[in-house]
Structure 1
Amino acid sequence: MTRWFRAYWDDEGVWFYFEVDADGWVSRQVEFRGPDGIPIAAASLTEWQQAQAAGQLGQYEATYGLTAESPVQEWDEYEPIALTAAEFEHVWNRARQYLRSDR
């Protein structure tokens, strides 16, 4: 079952938004930094794998970042706040639009 949640990492000043599968692996991840909530990442594990296979990983990561490399149940000291699928899609679309722009 897919779950969506967000969590704030105080030491980095970043809001993380996650879409995770039943095993806790992150399938999509969005990050917003600072008080203005500037998008700094909106990565998809599937897209990342496709970019890697196509030899375009550097370009993908430079534009969209990457997803967490361990299941969420292995993380310490974060307090997840549940989201709906629609709430996650809203932040996903906002971040992707920003990251695709010339800024």
Structure 2
Amino acid sequence: MTRWLRSYWAEEDIWFYFELDARGYPIRQIELEGPALDPIVAASQSEWRTAMQTGNGDEYHAVYGSVGEGGIHDWEGDGFDPEDLTAAEFETVWARARAACGARARTHTMPDV
């Protein structure tokens, strides 16, 4: 059973959003930073694996970040107090975060070396 949740980490002023598989491992992850909730991560585990297999891992990470390692059971405690979300709530944030990460990548091209 898929679960969607979010948790706020006050120390870094970041909201973490997760889509978890039945074992509690992240499928997709979003991170929103600061009072403006700026998207800094909007990563998919399956996309990350594909990017790594095709030699595009660095590019994927530069645009979308990465999904955390371990399962939900590894994060509980230490200020991790998740609250459940609906799939629709997660998808709304996901769409906004993906668009922002993609737009940021298009406007920050690497110079030729």
State whether TM-score is above 0.5. Answer: yes
Residue 25 of structure 1 and its aligned partner are, at CA, apart by: 0.5
- Aligned counterparts, 1:9-28, within 5 A: 9-28=9-28
Is 1:93 the counterpart of 2:90? The answer is no
Aligned to 1:82: 84
Give the whole-Å Cα distance in 2 for the aligned partners of 1:89 and 1:97: 12
- Cα RMSD of the aligned pairs, angstroms, is 0.9
Is 1:45 the counterpart of 2:60? The answer is no
Letter in 1 for 2:26: V
Letter in 2 for 1:43: A
3-state SS of the aligned residue for 2:49? helix
- Structure possessing the higher radius of gyration over alpha carbons: 2
Letter in 2 for 1:50: T
Is 1:73 the counterpart of 2:73? The answer is yes
Give the whole-Å Cα distance in 2 for the aligned partners of 1:58 and 1:90: 26
**1:32-84 deviations in whole A, cap 9, x for unaligned?**
00000000000000000000000000000000000011101111231111100
Give the whole-Å Cα distance in 2 for the aligned partners of 1:8 and 1:56: 30
Aligned residues: 103
- Aligned counterparts, 1:29-44, within 5 A: 29-44=29-44
Aligned to 2:8: 8
Runs of 4+ in 1 over 3 A off after TM superposition: none
Letter in 1 for 2:54: A
Letter in 1 for 2:68: A
